[in-house]
Amino acid sequence: MDDLYIRKVLDGQTEEFRYFIKQYKDLAFSVAFSLVKNEFTAAEVVQESFVKAFENLKSFKGQSKFSTWLCRIVINESIKTARKEKRTMSEPGFVSVKDFQENPVIFDELKKTEQKYYINECLNRLPANECLVLRLFYLAENSIKEICEMTGWSESNVKVHLHRGRKNTQEMLEKMLNTEVKSLY
């Protein structure tokens, strides 16, 4: 479907670019927000990213999905904006990954309606790289290979950030749950 709209836009039907905005605005916002950690800044990043995507659509070669290409633009714009605002973002690093066993009790103890709140709280507190990878992998359902294409990181770096993000999220959820349980008594 994306290919059809790309051809239409490149053939001069510029109003057809609205399709991409409707289709990918939530993904773009989620990616931007995970890096800049501010709603207003993320909205500006998304707007600038769509403008850049529109202006550079002719350079899209179709070797990846349009969403991957757009996410790469959003990531670059987010990093550029964060640097302008003198925010520091951790660079991808490498550590050895140990086997990680998830604790399903955490999610079982939370009510379904509260899960979203707690997960979003955790994502907002995570370092930008971990938050980005978790959002792309779990919420946007991208593969590790696609995340590598979007971020420019190696597969091992993506896996490390995914591992760290899971581990840190689990620890934060356990702390939040313990705090909630203690406040009941």
Q: What is the pLDDT of residue 62?
A: 80
Centre a 10 Å sphere on the Cβ of residue 61 and count the other Cβ atoms it contains.
Answer: 7
- The predicted structure's pLDDT at residue 109: 44
CA distance 45 to 171: 30
User: What pLDDT shows up at residue 139?
Assistant: 82
Q: Are 146 and 79 in contact (CB under 8 A)?
A: no
Residue 112's pLDDT is: 52
pTM above 0.85, yes or no: no
Q: Fold for 2-84, please state it.
A: Rna Polymerase Sigma Factor; Chain: A (1.10.1740)
Note the pLDDT of residue 182: 62
- Which residues are CB-neighbours of 168 under 8 A, at least 6 positions away? 122, 126, 127, 130
Tokens standing for residue 164: 């760290």
* Residue 3: predicted pLDDT: 86
Give the number of other CB atoms < 10 A from CB of residue 48. 17
- Annotated domain spans of the chain: 2-84, 105-184
Q: Which whole-number Å values give the CA distances from 66 to 24, 61, 156, in the listed order?
A: 10, 9, 24
Q: Which CATH architecture has domain 105-184?
A: Orthogonal Bundle (1.10)
> What's residue 123's pLDDT?
84
**The predicted structure's pLDDT at residue 43:** 94
Rounded Cα gap, residues 98 and 7, in angstroms: 46
pLDDT of residue 92: 38
pLDDT 10s digit of each residue in the chain, 185 long? 888 898 888 899 989 999 999 999 999 999 999 888 888 999 999 999 999 999 999 988 888 889 889 999 999 999 888 888 764 444 333 222 233 234 454 444 445 556 677 777 888 888 989 999 998 898 888 899 999 998 999 999 999 999 999 999 889 888 877 776 666 55
